[in-house]
Amino acid sequence: MSITLLQAFLLSLWAFLSGCDRMVEAFFWFRPIIVSTVVGIILGDPVNGAIVGGLTELAFAGLTPAGGAVPPDPVVAGLMGAVFACTGKISPTAAVGLALPFSILMQYIIVLMYMAYTFWMRPFDRKVEACDVKGIVRINIWGTLIAGVAYFIFAFLATYVIQDVIQKAIDRIPAWLMNGFEVAGGVMPALGFAMLLTVMYKTRYLPFLIVGFLAATYLNFTNILPVALIGCSIAMYNYFFGRKETGDNTVMEEGESNVGI
């Protein structure tokens, strides 16, 4: 099944909306589980959309932008995964793997955009100097919309303009490459977590990392909630029964390590 112009336009519009949300992290409809489901609805196959969305969401739950990091892009992952699963004869699992390179590509585009937006700080500073309050607000709205447009274009190109090229590439993709992408998708969160660790890790927090790891390894659960409850319990125990800290310096110390990201 190939994508019609109307569908491509709707997909791109949706990419615009979720791209804006991805930029500002406001309503979280930029998460793959939502993105893919809507894509599925547009393409007339909400069930496969939801399935790919669920799989991608799980794979991307560890790839957070915390500390200003830029992870493989969740919008594009959700978009392309659902497109592959709903239009080709590709299984949802394989679709998740295939979407990965696209999502990494978009990640780099975002990094470039964050760099480009740096140049916007000159006019911004001038507005501050001029006490142009309305302008200060407006510049942030424009920034959001422009990001959305980037997603619109990306989506239109990938799902319509070069869809045949992509389709042909996929038909010829060997098994080991397919498998390789899936493996890469599975191992990628390691980097995300390592980046978190550079922010959060101190020797004295090692025990909690270990406890969380052991709990998740040996308990048989469906979501991370029990581990979070364990963490919560230890945190509360330490808060109520632990040694009181002197406080102030701790704040600074932690503050600084966080700024550096």
Partner 1 sequence: MSEYKDNLITKSDLNAAVWRSIVIQGTFNYERYQGSGWCAMIAPILEKIHSDNKNELRERLKDNSGFFNTQLIMANFLLGLVISLYEKKADRKLINGLRISLFGPLAGIGDSIFWFTLMPIMAGICSSLATKGNIIGPIIYFLVYIGVFALRFFAIRVGYYTGSKSIEKLGAKTGELSTAASILGCTVLGGLIATLVSFQTKATITITDSVSLSIQEAFFDQIIPNFLPVVITILMYVMLKKKVSPTFLILLLLIGSLTLSYFGMV
Q: Which two tokens stand for residue 155?
A: 């989506």
**Nearer CB in complex with ligand MAN: 26/190:** 26
1 binding partner (options partner 1, ligand MAN, a copy of itself, none; Cβ < 5 to 8 Å by kind):
none
| Largest CA-CA distance found in the chain, in angstroms, rounded | 65
**Measured torsion, CA atoms of residues 99, 102, 106, 108, in degrees rounded to the nearest 10:** 120
Q: Which does 89 bind (CB under 5 to 8 A by kind): partner 1, ligand MAN, a copy of itself, none?
A: none
Site track 220-259 with a copy of itself (rule: CB under 8 A), x = hit: xx----x--xx-xxx-xxx-xxxxx---------------
Binding part of the chain for partner 1, among 3-11, 79-87, 152-160, 231-239 by CB under 8 A, reads 231-239
- If the CB atoms of residues 25 and 125 are measured against ligand MAN, the closer one turns out to be 25
3-state helix, strand, coil split of the chain in percent (to 5) is 80, 0, 20
The full DSSP string for 142-201 is HHHHHHHHHHHHHHHIIIIITHHHHHHHHHH--HHHHHHHHHHHHHTHHHHHHHHHHHH-
Applying the rule CB under 8 A, the residues between 134 and 173 that interact with partner 1 are 136-137, 139-144, 147
Q: Using the rule CB under 8 A, which residue among 6, 171, 172, 222 binds partner 1?
A: 222
From CA 39, how far away is CA 54, in angstroms rounded? 13
Positions in 26-65 near ligand MAN (CB under 6 A): 65
Q: What is the DSSP string of 32-93?
A: HHHHHHHHHHHTT-HHHHHHHHHHHHHHHTT---GGG--PSPHHHHHHHHHHHHHHSS--HH
- The single residue listed with the structure tokens 């804006």 is 20
Asked if 112 is part of the footprint of partner 1 (rule: CB under 8 A), the reply reads: no
Q: Give the nearest distance from C-beta 54 to partner 1 in angstroms.
A: 3
Binding status of residue 123 toward a copy of itself by CB under 8 A? no
Rounded to whole angstroms, how far apart are CA atoms 92 and 86?
9
Considering the rule CB under 6 A, would residue 68 count as an interface residue with ligand MAN?
A: yes
Amino acid residing at 131: C
For residue 67, state whether it binds ligand MAN (rule: CB under 6 A): yes
Site for a copy of itself in 162-221 (CB under 8 A): 203-204, 206-208, 210-211, 214, 217-221
Q: Which is nearer to a copy of itself, 27 or 237 (CB)?
A: 237
